[in-house]
Amino acid sequence: MHEMALCESVVRILEEQAHEQGFAKVTVVRMAIGQLSQVELESFRFCFGAVAQGTLAAGAQLDIETPDGKAWCLDCRRDIRLARLGEACPDCGGYALQITGGEEMRITELEVE
Amino acid sequence: MCTVCGCGDPKSPAQPHDHDHDHDHGHDHSHGHEYGHGHGRGQKLDYGKGIAGAHVPGLSQARIVQIERNILAENDRYAALNRQTFKERGILALNLVSSPGAGKTTLLVRSIADLTIRCSVAVVEGDQQTSLDADRIRAAGVPAIQVNTGKGCHLDAHMVHHAMETLALPDKGVLFIENVGNLVCPAAFDLGEATKVAILSVTEGEDKPLKYPDMFRAARLMILNKIDLLPHVPFDVARCLDYAKRVNPEIGIIQLSAVTGEGLAAWYDWIDANRTLARIVG
């Protein structure tokens, strides 16, 4: 349930931004949460609804993009897609992989009033 | 009261809590509004309609705000502060993570007994509740502070930051941070440590590295504990190590028994090598 803590971080960031940029309500939160990040999206959405209650983000819509997991295969020397940690390179079947993408947990844009 | 963030309760800064009090704001504004809005059809207060005619003076209309913020930015800010302190004082900070019952505290108590001969040691103990573990550590003769996370499932950098304010830090020594027993949540939270050390015991499933890949990817060292029990349990060591390398090809592995002492020498050598690194490069 670290999704709860992550949602609290999101709301704190929104509150900071509201103070800095002068808005009172957030209607849409756009985020990028990579396939290899440590976030369970369903749980995250559920927690966000609960955490946002009574804040400037109450009822806000979560618009979440989920960038693909990517890795560099040291044996094939090329980029591959990696849906999950622990999976093998689809070409050579090896595990000598360096993760290169899909780990992000970012807020990218807000719609505010 | 926190000197960095101003929070009043260092025990559970990141936890949800019910409010029976008001929070002061650091800025001046009114929460009242003098404009009309509809409360139609059982919806929540709907400020989304008719924005142009109903915005608060001083606030702009509906708009898009571009921000690029890592969700964990605040945690990472505290982690960086902690890391800076460790660097300045030559402290090797290790974040010990495992399932409940893998033997973290037993390994710690044994390690303390053996390590205090060569360097100073202190411990931050994370648990949902009780100070039983910190009591065990103090009984072993080193400073320890218990952080109770309440309903929280992991330590965060902010909690550790506070713990460091009251704990006698082990200059040029080792700070063990024993995380809450949980192979999922602590993986996401950098505490400022040199590395996470994932502890797995042979009484658990050998497939845990595959089931909880985030943690074994986040750790630079895996300790396979309780190897004295291998004759009695159907645990395939080779398969376990293979799984760990699959999710993290660079993970180091030490097999030991905190009870019999087998393999502890390698663990202490690893600690010594990393203490040296902490002194040289922080």
* Residue ranges making up the domain that contains A77: 2-112
The pLDDT tens digits along chain B (282 residues) read 444 454 544 443 333 344 444 444 444 444 433 333 333 333 333 223 333 333 444 555 789 998 999 999 999 999 999 999 999 999 999 999 999 999 999 999 999 999 999 999 999 999 888 888 899 999 999 999 999 988 788 999 999 999 999 999 999 999 999 999 999 999 999 999 999 999 999 999 999 999 999 999 999 999 999 999 999 999 999 999 999 999 999 999 999 999 999 999 999 999 999 999 988 876
Do strands A26-33 and A61-65 pair parallel, antiparallel, or not at all (unpaired)? parallel
Q: Could you tell me which of B113, B103, B111, B138 has the C-alpha nearest to residue B124?
A: B138
Q: What is the pLDDT of residue B50?
A: 34
CA dihedral defined by B137, B223, B86, B13, rounded to 10 degrees?
Answer: -70
Q: What is the pLDDT of residue B29?
A: 44
Q: What is the pLDDT of residue B7?
A: 53
Do strands B219-225 and B252-255 pair parallel, antiparallel, or not at all (unpaired)? parallel
Query: Is the CB of residue B52 less than 8 Å away from at least one CB of chain A?
Result: no
Q: Could you tell me which of B64, B209, B7, B226 has the C-alpha nearest to residue A26?
A: B64
Q: In this structure, what CATH number is given to the domain that contains residue A99?
A: 3.30.2320.80
Mean pLDDT of chain A: 95
Instruction: Compute how many other C-beta atoms are within 10 angstroms of the C-beta atom of residue B274.
Output: 18
Tokens of B261: 């002492």
**Entry pTM:** 0.82
Point out the residues of chain A with pLDDT beneath 70: 1
In angstroms, what separates the C-alpha of A12 from chain B's closest C-alpha? 9
Q: What is the pLDDT of residue B14?
A: 37
- How many domains in chain A? 1
In chain B, what residues touch A59 (CB-CB under 8 Å)?
A: 44
A-interface mutation test, from B37, B63, B69, most A Cβ less than 10 A away? B69
In angstroms, what separates the C-alpha of B199 from chain A's closest C-alpha? 18
Q: What is the pLDDT of residue A111?
A: 96
